[in-house]
Amino acid sequence: MSNIVYVLIGVAAGVISGLGIGGGTLLIPALTLFYGLSQQQAQSVNLIYFIPTAIVALISHFKNGNIEKGPVKKLIVFGVMGAVVGSVVAVRMNPELLRRLFGGFLLVMGVYEFRRKSEVKE
């Protein structure tokens, strides 16, 4: 794959991250399909990629007053706890099983979003 593919995937994942959807929904499958990374490697790259894109999105949303400050502290504490547990489990899990679970998660979330969008329009 050429460097232009890296650029396109990075830009697309960045736009999705800025929208609050999560760039990993695009980045992780792209890294496993196009570059042959294991699921754990792709998720690791996604986590490193997430830090600067999250900071940029956070600054933008903070400036626009889109952040509810009340629940943030609790969400951070429990989110860190969940990240520790999730990373320990993911590292020890069979890569193929992890990939299938991630794909299933994306499928379920996609179906949920499509259903939710159609309910909102009615």
DSSP string, 76-110: HHHHHHHHHHHHHHHHHS-HHHHHHHHHHHHHHHH
pTM for the full predicted model: 0.68
pLDDT at 108 over 90: yes
**Residue 26 to residue 31: CA distance in whole angstroms:** 9
pLDDT value of residue 66 = 87
Higher pLDDT, 42 or 69: 42
56-83 burial: b if 16+ Cβ within 10 Å, else e:
ebeeeeeeeeeeeeeeeeeeeeeeeeee
Q: How many CB atoms lie within 10 A of CB 38?
A: 14
74-103 per-position pLDDT tens digit: 888 998 999 899 889 988 999 889 989 988
